[in-house]
Amino acid sequence: MSLTKEASRSCFNVVRAVGLKVLKNKLSEYVRLAASGETILVTDREKVVAELTPARTGRADRLEDARLAEAARQGWLTPPVCRPANPHQPAR
């Protein structure tokens, strides 16, 4: 199911809805759509249960970096403090 709304001089984003069974069978297709900027509503028996959205701006590209950044945002990991090679030089 695809909903598209258009008004004169403006265009709204396309919002797609997909059931769990179809999503399971075509997951890579829907992930590519989300990565390209679309929001995908995931439904189970006509009830919206989740959303696939593009990654947030500033999200790390590599999985390991994204996990570390998320852990730091949630507060259960503290990034190390870099100390300057010269102790009289201020840290950046």
Assigned architecture for domain 2-74: 3-Layer(aba) Sandwich (3.40)
pLDDT of residue 48: 96
Beta strands in the chain (DSSP E): 2-3, 6-7, 10-11, 15-19, 39-44, 47-52
pLDDT of residue 17: 94
Model confidence, pTM: 0.58
pLDDT of residue 29: 96
Residues of the chain with pLDDT under 50: 5-9
Q: Where are the domains of the chain?
A: 2-74
pLDDT of residue 67: 86
pLDDT of residue 8: 46
